[in-house]
Amino acid sequence: MKVGILGGTFDPIHRGHIMIAQAAKEQFGLDMMWIMPARIPPHKQREFITDDIHRLMMIELSIPDESLEMNVMEFARPGKSFTSDTLSMLVAEHPDGELYYVMGQDSLQDFPKWHEPETIANLAKIPVAVRDADEEGFRQLLEERNRQYHDAFIPLNMGYQPVSSTMLRKMIRSGEDTELIAPKALTYIRRFGLYGQKATAIRTETFERFQRYVELLSKKLSAHRLSHCIGVAHLAADFMQEYEERHGTVPSADGFYDSVQQTYLAGLLHDCAKFIPHDEYVSVCEKYGIPVTEDERSVPEVLHAKVGRYLAEHEYGIEDTIILSAIEKHCVGDVDMNAVDLAVFTADFCEPFRDHRPLGCTLHSIRMLGYENLIQAALKAIDCTVLYVRTMGWTLDNRTIDVIESLNNKLRE
């Protein structure tokens, strides 16, 4: 396998990044081309970087097709996201692979200051995109670096792209229109109020409530689980905003959809019971009078959804039955699922921090399908799960078959 990697902060990702990735894939005949955002870029102050979930969402919404793929492996380890560590891990996992680490001219200029540059040059071929109109200066810099690092650098066959994330942030803050960001990503920026914009999807009080819940959840859930919950909240809310706009639903008097606020909070709280060990769920249910089926007793892990609904109501003060329903139904589903239920259910399977590879499709394809048709996206997620369960030789929950039939009936209707 020949794998290309375009790393960076992507704050925000823009058309220049996409063009560089596509050019590298074509020029070097790469089997895969990964866009790999850094969790903690070594050269930047983390407090000045846009939140992880927003950067991941913008990347997903900017990927034009299956030729490119987002890789979030740098979010799976603590500390700074050093390229040498990432490449060393990839080589250890795939010793027969051939790595191409793509960078821009500005990175080439600073390369000797990077962490373990010799390791990077030894582990990967390094295509370089020109980032300056001075082509002769670029050629001279390339020759100098190749003398220093044993001809590791290769010029990327593409012209100079006069665009940078810094420039785009300023343009967005000033309210300028720009075609340098993918339309879906720009819509997301406006919906969630990034880079000085006023949010069009989430009310200020919902944001404030969300942050209070994040603080409470951080005391119980692992950092990985909390990131997952934040990912589900943002993807599900974006699904729901798209759903309401696509169906021409009239928002509330203040211009916001109540359903989007409900989805946002349900997505965050859906796994609020995940701090409880799996083998204790049945006893917790018995303690609080939560009914348990025989299927649930055989696979008690699924009970975190029912327990989560109970905790959301009694510990987090959620009274809204639509939010509580989405929390309870997010795991196995239900024959009677509304749009909020479907948005949370689907986002749980494919939120941007997820890095599994489902059988029969890609996470990106399900994410994009969620914006088009929530029923079809939920069915696709279930199909992948059923295929995996059967491949592993496990028992399928009887309710899953009923949910599949119910969703197919809704599609036919």
Is there a single domain that holds both residue 211 and residue 153? no
Which helix H or strand E contains 33, and what residues bound it? strand 32-37
Can you give the residue range of the structural domain that contains 364?
201-412
247 & 210 share domain: yes
Low-confidence ranges of the chain (pLDDT < 50): none
Phi, psi (rounded to 5 degrees) for 36: -120, 95
Return the pLDDT at 45.
66
Alpha carbon of residue 395 to chain centroid: 30
Q: Buried (b) or exposed (e) across 325-348, using 16+ Cβ within 10 A?
A: bbbbbbbbbbeebebbbbbbbbbb
pLDDT at 393: 86
Q: Does 288 map to a domain?
A: yes
- Kindly state the tokens that stand for 388: 């995996």
Q: Give domain status of residue 341, yes or no.
A: yes
Task: Specify if 189 maps to a domain.
Answer: no
Domain shared by 249 and 360, yes or no: yes
Residue from 298, 257, 260 nearest 281 by CA: 298
Same domain, 161 and 215: no
* Angstrom distance (rounded) from CA 107 to CA 123: 17
Q: Say whether both 161 and 239 belong to one domain.
A: no
Distance of CA 186 to the CA centre of its chain: 16
Q: What is the pLDDT of residue 160?
A: 72
- Cα separation of 234 and 341, whole Å? 14
Q: Is 218 helix (H, G, I), strand (E, B) or coil?
A: helix
Q: Say how far apart CA 103 and CA 285 lie, in whole Å.
A: 53
Residue 196 counted as domain residue:
no
Q: Is residue 53 part of a domain?
A: yes
Long-range Cβ pairs for the range 223-226 (8 Å, 24+): 224/76, 225/271, 225/274, 225/275
Q: Indicate whether 209 belongs to any domain.
A: yes
In this structure, the answer to whether residues 128 and 228 fall within a common structural domain is no
Both 35 and 117 in one domain: the answer is yes
272/322 same-domain check: yes
- Residues 6 or more apart whose Cβ sits within 8 Å of residue 18: 62, 63, 64, 68, 182
Answer yes or no: do 152 and 208 share one domain: no
Give the SS3 label for residue 35. Answer: strand
Q: What CATH number is given to the structural domain containing 103?
A: 3.40.50.620
Task: Please indicate, yes or no, whether residues 168 and 289 belong to a single structural domain of this protein.
Answer: no
Domain boundary, last residue among 172, 188, 213 = 172
Identify whether residues 144 and 228 lie together within a single domain: no
Q: Is residue 177 part of a domain?
A: no
The count of structural domains within the chain is 2
In CATH, what number is assigned to the domain containing residue 264?
1.10.3210.10
How much is the pTM?
0.96
Same-domain check for residues 289 and 168: no
Tens of pLDDT, residue by residue over 139-195, are 999 999 999 999 999 999 987 777 889 999 999 999 887 899 999 999 999 999 999
Tokens 């823009």 found at = 14
Indicate whether 179 belongs to any domain.
no
